């Protein structure tokens, strides 16, 4: 039997080599590379290369922190650094990818011609590579009875325990579109034509279509800046593509080299770019980390957080992180708080390890590290940090309240019950208050009334949604304002350029806490997305510009990310959603409602088929009463329905809460959560609508509250059906 397998394998090898070129005298040596001993040797070589590269990356960051110097890319990498089980999963995928690259190099007979190395491997060899790289499948054993959702999202679906779980691949709604069909992003090969045209440089697209001067911003007359911040808050709950590990490129530095060599996928500057510093200048871009894919070996990106709306940004998406966030000195189930500073008597978030924190570089004299929360991006911007702080306090407030109502509960039950309520709050505010403002008149079309849990629904976040939901970048204002108790500007603190607030935890600690920020988020209006005002210059040129080095371009990063993730072009997604697929400038003009803009797109891309999804979708005119066009409404609406209907612990599912508790939870409001956890005394009932002080504001005691003690609703009476 083994002899038959060997003959079949050798025949496959010979046939493959005949397809790519003539055989030479070294064929035996190449066939030897497929023996068990040679495969193990190649795997060990790959592991050593990857481990060495990881070690070098850690030493490089440590040195930068010691020297107190870092680039904008260092800030981005820090925020998206894989931790815990994610790090192990990413490293295993790097082992696998590097093994296949080394093996292909050893099997290459000619300097030209292409072949997929996986076509040369039989099932046994693929299983060996998967096992030795750590990419073999590990089954998940689910408990028979579970009354609380897991931290990881595992076992939410009893039949498909990995649905929606952290550290699994984003799901694809359309097949991946890679240049080589496996992993190489489209646009890498200069001069290569797609649908008869080359892909434009993403930086050129950004300059010509996205760039908006900070002074050239139109205010959204209907929505507050809180609307934008809540979108990011929810995005961080369900989606995190960590940066790829260092890979095996020991001699390649992603910030100084303009050549594509995974994981370095640099963004090249066009010749006429105003920021070009040298002839070969480029902006660094590191590919998103991949996940083990031993079935097809196609590059699939990993989602490091659970897909479910489960407040993972508060609690974490893996058990070790969740445990590290808890107060280890108390039995009550509290979350840990800052031991060095308070916010006028209220808690701040705890700090991460100062020796490993890049936030200390944003103000070297203050030496204040990044905050620590369930999501590592907590300190990315001040508004995000404020929301994290509010929900940390709300958890601890609920724990204290429930502990008094149920003195016989232990700390674990207090923690889990409070977490359960926080999750319900997050789901309610998102679906009742936020999504209707995004989807407008099409809300009920995409997210009809809840009809129960659907165990056949896969709630896993889709790869395309992870890019499409970045539409919120077009709502970001270029300045951060902070207001005093009377909702008036706080002198020099009221108008800070956005790029000076990234990773600046010191500004919250030393410049008034979170209350002034929240007042600004409530009173300030969101930026209105207009076709000629897509992305403010603070994001398009100065992202993470905390040093003398020029900042990053968020629009270019989004476009490059779409290509890195193998996402098909604009028309493929229009087709997926049942929309027309424009082919000419006239047809594109009709879709966009703008002939001048349509010509710009055609001049850049040649055909609508090639338009990168993000830049095409955000330019579509809004659906009535919404803030996205038809394509984004389809993608976003579909995803959020999947997240709801595929969640066994959804707050409305019968048995999750009692009928009385459901009635009480419907009174939940973001306004009341903030009133309960800040010193702010007046707020609008609707935090997402544009508000003017004092006309739309009411005293906090006038806002409906979730009364835990009313009729013993949240005493020891509830249970969760399995």
User: Residues with Cβ < 8 Å from 310, sequence gap 6 or more?
Assistant: 149, 153, 237, 423, 426, 649
DSSP 660-679: HHHHHHTT--HHHHHHHHSS
pLDDT at position 456: 98
Q: Is 371 helix (H, G, I), strand (E, B) or coil?
A: strand
User: Residues with Cβ < 8 Å from 354, sequence gap 6 or more?
Assistant: 360, 367, 369
> What angle do helix axes 225-238 and 515-523 make, rounded to 10 degrees?
110
Phi-psi region of 311 (alpha: psi -120 to 50; beta: other; left: phi over 0): left
Q: CA-to-CA distance for 402 and 386, rounded, in angstroms?
A: 24
Q: Are strands 535-536 and 211-212 parallel, antiparallel or unpaired?
A: parallel
Q: CA-to-CA distance for 377 and 243, rounded, in angstroms?
A: 13
Q: CA-to-CA distance for 555 and 477, rounded, in angstroms?
A: 15
Structural tokens at position 14:
């010979």
Q: CA-to-CA distance for 468 and 170, rounded, in angstroms?
A: 13
> 290-307 as b/e, with b when 16 or more CB fall inside 10 Å?
bbbbbeebbbbbbbbbbb
Q: Give me the residue spans of the domains in the chain.
A: 2-75+88-139
Q: CA-to-CA distance for 150 and 429, rounded, in angstroms?
A: 22
Below-50 pLDDT ranges, the chain:
1-25, 27, 110-112, 247-248, 250, 717-722
User: Residues with Cβ < 8 Å from 629, sequence gap 6 or more?
Assistant: 617, 618, 619, 620, 621, 622, 623
pLDDT in tens, 233-280: 999 999 999 988 754 454 557 777 788 988 899 999 998 898 766 656
Phi-psi region of 578 (alpha: psi -120 to 50; beta: other; left: phi over 0): left
Q: CA-to-CA distance for 636 and 622, rounded, in angstroms?
A: 14
Report the binding-site residues for heme b. 473
Distances (CA, A) of 67 to 257, 299, 352, 506, 544: 22, 36, 19, 19, 18
Q: CA-to-CA distance for 666 and 136, rounded, in angstroms?
A: 45
Comparing C-alpha atoms, which of 57, 59, 68, 554 is closest to residue 359? 68
Q: CA-to-CA distance for 68 and 146, rounded, in angstroms?
A: 48
160 is catalytic: no
Report the binding-site residues. 473
Structural tokens at position 168:
């699994």
> How many alpha carbons lie under 13 Å from residue 32 in its C-beta half-sphere?
5
Catalytic residue, chosen from 236, 388, 395, 542, is 236
Task: Spell out the long-range contacts of 438-441 with Cβ–Cβ below 8 A and sequence spacing 24 or more.
Answer: 438/231, 438/626, 438/627, 438/628, 438/633, 438/636, 439/623, 439/626, 439/628, 439/633, 439/636, 439/637, 440/622, 440/623, 440/624, 440/625, 440/626, 440/627, 440/633, 441/623, 441/624, 441/625, 441/626
Quick one: how many helices (H) and strands (E) in the chain? 26, 14
| Residue 172 C-alpha from the chain's centroid | 16
The C-alpha torsion from 303 through 306 and 311 to 313, rounded to 10°, is -30
pLDDT at position 582: 98
């Amino acid at each position: 039997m083994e002899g038959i397998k060997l003959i079949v394998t050798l025949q496959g090898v010979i046939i493959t080599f005949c397809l790519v070129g003539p055989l030479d005298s070294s064929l035996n040596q190449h066939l030897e590379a497929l023996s068990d001993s040679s495969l193990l040797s190649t795997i060990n070589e790959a592991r050593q290369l990857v481990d060495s590269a990881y070690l070098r990356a850690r030493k490089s960051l440590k040195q930068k922190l010691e020297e107190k110097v870092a680039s904008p890319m260092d800030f981005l990498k820090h925020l998206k650094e894989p931790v815990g089980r994610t790090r192990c999963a990413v490293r295993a995928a790097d082992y696998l990818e590097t093994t296949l690259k080394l093996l292909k190099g050893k099997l290459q007979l000619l300097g030209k011609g292409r072949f997929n190395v996986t076509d040369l491997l039989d099932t046994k060899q693929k299983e060996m590579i998967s096992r030795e790289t750590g990419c073999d499948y590990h089954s998940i054993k689910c408990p028979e009875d579970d009354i609380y959702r897991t931290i990881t999202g595992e076992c939410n679906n009893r039949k498909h325990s990995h649905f929606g779980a952290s550290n699994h691949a984003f799901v694809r709604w359309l097949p991946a579109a890679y240049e080589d069909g496996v992993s190489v992003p489209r646009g890498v090969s200069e001069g290569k034509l797609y649908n008869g045209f080359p892909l434009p440089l993403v930086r050129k697209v950004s300059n010509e279509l996205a760039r908006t001067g900070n002074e050239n911003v139109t205010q959204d007359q209907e929505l507050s800046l809180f609307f934008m911040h809540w979108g990011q808050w929810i995005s961080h709950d369900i989606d995190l593509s960590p940066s790829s590990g260092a890979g095996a490129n020991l001699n390649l530095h992603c910030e100084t080299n303009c050549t594509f060599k995974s994981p370095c996928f640099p963004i090249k500057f066009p010749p006429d770019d105003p920021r070009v510093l040298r002839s070969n200048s480029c902006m660094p871009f590191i590919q998103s980390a991949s996940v083990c894919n031993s079935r097809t070996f196609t590059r699939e990106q990993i989602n490091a957080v659970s897909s479910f709306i489960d407040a993972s940004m508060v609690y974490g998406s893996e058990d070790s992180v969740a445990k590290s966030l808890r107060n280890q000195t108390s039995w009550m189930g509290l979350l840990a708080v800052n031991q060095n500073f308070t916010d006028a008597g209220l808690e701040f978030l705890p700090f991460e390890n100062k020796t490993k924190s890049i936030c200390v570089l944003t103000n070297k004299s203050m030496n204040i590290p990044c905050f620590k929360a369930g999501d590592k991006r907590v300190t990315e911007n001040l508004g995000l940090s404020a929301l994290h702080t509010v929900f940390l306090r709300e958890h601890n407030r609920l724990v204290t309240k429930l502990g008094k109502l149920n003195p016989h509960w232990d700390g674990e039950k207090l923690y889990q019950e409070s977490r359960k309520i926080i999750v319900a709050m997050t789901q309610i505010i998102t679906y009742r208050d936020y999504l209707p403002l995004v989807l407008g008149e099409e809300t009920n079309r995409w997210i009809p009334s809840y009809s129960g849990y659907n165990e056949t629904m896969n709630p896993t976040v889709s790869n395309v949604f992870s890019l499409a939901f970045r539409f919120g970048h077009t709502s970001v204002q270029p300045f951060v304002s902070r207001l005093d108790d009377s909702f008036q500007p706080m002198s020099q603190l009221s108008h800070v350029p956005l790029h000076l607030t990234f990773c600046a935890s010191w500004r919250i600690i030393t410049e008034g806490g979170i209350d002034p920020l929240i007042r600004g988020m409530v009173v300030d209006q969101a930026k209105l997305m207009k076709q000629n005002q897509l992305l403010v210059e603070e994001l398009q040129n100065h992202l993470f510009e905390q040093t003398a080095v020029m900042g990053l371009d968020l629009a270019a990063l989004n476009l490059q990310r779409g290509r890195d993730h193998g996402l098909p072009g604009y028309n493929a997604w229009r087709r997926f959603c049942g929309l027309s697929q424009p082919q000419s400038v006239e047809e594109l003009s009709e879709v966009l409602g703008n002939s001048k803009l349509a010509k710009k797109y055609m001049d850049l891309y040649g055909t609508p088929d090639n338009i990168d999804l993000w830049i095409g979708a955000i330019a579509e005119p809004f659906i009535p009463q919404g803030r996205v066009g038809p394509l984004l409404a389809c993608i976003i609406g579909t995803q959020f329905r999947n997240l709801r209907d595929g969640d066994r612990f959804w707050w409305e599912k019968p048995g999750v809460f009692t009928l009385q508790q459901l009635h009480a939870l419907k009174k939940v409001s973001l306004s009341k959560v903030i009133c309960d956890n800040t010193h702010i005394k007046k707020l609008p009932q609707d935090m997402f609508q544009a508000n003017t002080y004092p006309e739309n504001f009411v005293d906090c005691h006038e806002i409906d509250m979730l009364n835990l003690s009313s009729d013993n609703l949240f005493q020891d009476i509830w249970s969760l059906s399995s």
